[in-house]
Amino acid sequence: MSDIGEEPSVRVLISEAEITSRLQELAREISRDYEDKDLVLVCVLKGSMVFFADLARKITVPLRFDYICVDSYGDNTESGEEIELRTDLSESVAGRHVLVVEDIVDTGRTMGYLFDLLEGRGAASLAVVALLDKPARRKREVEIAYRGFEVPDEFVVGYGLDYRQQYRNLPYIGALESSSPLG
C-alpha cells in the first residue's frame, strides 16, 4: 500500500468477543423467524464470507447456501454509482425465502441493486442480515431485518472487510487510519 504514503493503522471499533456474542443473538432470531421455511442464505462476496460462515454455523434451521459477487468499490474507499454483477447465484431463488448476508450496508445502492435483482427472480421473501450498518452514508433506503452493529462514518476493515484486499483476516472490526488520505 505504498501508494498512500505510510502504512495505515487500525483502531478497534468492535471486538472479537462483541462480534461473537451478537452473532449468537442474530442466529437465534433468524432460526426463530425461518422455522419451517425454505431458507436460502446468500453470501455477498467477498466481504461477507467470514460473517456468513460464522453466522451460518450458528443458525439451527435447515438452509441452503448460495453466493453472489457484486462490485461497487473497486480499489477505492468510496462506493461508486455503478454496481457490477461479477458472479451470479448458482440456483434459482423462485419460491424460496432469501436472506442476503451482507458485511456492511453503506450507501444502500448495492443492497437496492440486489433486492431489485432477486425480487425479479420470484423469491417468496427477501430480507437482509448486515453485520454493519453505516446510516450516515445512506443514499438509498434499505430495510435491514437483522442488524449486527451500527458504525460511524469511518472506513472499516476486518472480519472480512478489506482495504485493497488486505485486513480481511482481522478477528475484529476496526477503523482504518492514516495521516495520508485513503483512496
Q: For 109-168, what is each residue's pLDDT tens digit?
A: 999 999 999 999 999 999 999 999 999 999 999 999 999 999 999 999 999 999 999 999
- At residue 82, the pLDDT reads 82
Q: For 57-72, what is each residue's pLDDT tens digit?
A: 999 999 999 999 998 7
- At residue 32, the pLDDT reads 98
pLDDT, mean of residues 26-31: 98
Given a cut of 70, whether residue 74 has pLDDT beyond it is: no
| Highest-confidence segment of 4-18, 27-41, 68-82 | 27-41
* Of 97, 125, 103, 141, residue with least CA distance to 23: 103
- At residue 12, the pLDDT reads 97
Beta bridge partners of 105: 133
**Strands, sheet with 84-87, edge to edge from the N-terminal-most edge strand:** 84-87, 63-71, 39-45, 97-105, 125-133, 146-150
Task: Indicate the CATH number of 16-151 among 3.40.50.920, 3.40.605.10, 3.40.50.300, 3.40.50.2020.
Answer: 3.40.50.2020
- At residue 1, the pLDDT reads 40
- At residue 179, the pLDDT reads 52
Residue 8, judged by CB atoms within 10 A of its CB (0-12, 13-18, 19+), counts as buried
- At residue 78, the pLDDT reads 54
Given a cut of 60, whether residue 182 has pLDDT beyond it is: no
- At residue 85, the pLDDT reads 93
Q: How confident is the model at residue 178 (pLDDT cuts 50, 70, 90)?
A: confident
Domain ranges of the chain: 16-151
The predicted model scores a pTM of: 0.88
Name the grid cell of 156: 472499516
Given a cut of 80, whether residue 94 has pLDDT beyond it is: yes
Q: Residue 134: is the preceding peptide bond cis (ω within 30°)?
A: no
| Cα dihedral 160, 165, 169, 170 sign | negative
Residues designated catalytic: 106
